[in-house]
Amino acid sequence: MRILGIDPGIAIVGFGFIDKNGSKLTPVQYGCIQTEAHTPEEERLLHVYEGMLQLIDRYKPEAVALEKLFFNRNVTTAMSVGQARGVLVLAAVQRGLAVAEYTPMQVKQAIVGYGKAEKKQVQEMVRMYLKLSAVPKPDDVADALAVAVCHAHSYTLNSKINEVLRK
């Protein structure tokens, strides 16, 4: 199964495609979609949307996982990120993909085993899970890969739970 993990943003959208084959996770492609700071917001959103459609069409994921929004004190930033998240979900749904969402705490729990783990711990575990030579940069890319790995683990667990419930 190919999974696309996304760390939503208006300036930087981190993305990471991984393949899950049994318990083996393999990185396929990862990076970010960036928008220019002084560009009108609607143009930035269009750039994010079109960029995500191109990535989905090229790498053909079977599942999409996004990090849920974490609201901080800056409402303006939260609104912009929320709009970017909306166009990312729209791109996935238009391509017929199911979208799973995970809170930052759920991602940390799945990756490190502790929901309040430090960012550096999560990044290092992602590097180790995917056998990467270095932690991907910028942080948004590592975060997107963490979301993809979280979904890979959660998908396996949820599949087993559903199997038991069907019996």
CATH of the domain at 143: 3.30.420.10
Question: According to the model, what pLDDT value does residue 25 have?
Answer: 96
Q: What are the catalytic residues?
A: 7, 67, 140
Binding residues for Mg(2+): 7, 67, 140
Say if strands 2-7 and 63-67 run parallel, antiparallel, or are unpaired: parallel
Residue positions counted in the chain = 167
Instruction: Give the phi and the psi of residue 146 in degrees, each rounded to 5.
Output: -60, -40
Give dist(CA 119, CA 157) in Å, integer: 24
Choose among 129, 119, 134: nearest CA to 149: 129
The pTM score is: 0.90
The domain of 157 spans 2-166
Question: According to the model, what pLDDT value does residue 78 have?
Answer: 77
Tell me, what amino acid is at 29? Q
Question: According to the model, what pLDDT value does residue 74 have?
Answer: 63
Task: Going residue by residue through the chain, which has 167 residues, state the pLDDT in tens, using 9 for 90 and above.
Answer: 999 999 999 999 999 999 999 989 999 999 999 999 999 999 999 999 999 999 999 999 999 999 887 666 666 677 888 899 999 999 999 999 999 999 999 999 999 988 888 989 999 999 999 999 999 999 999 999 999 999 998 876 655 555 566 66
Q: Tell me how many domains the chain contains.
A: 1
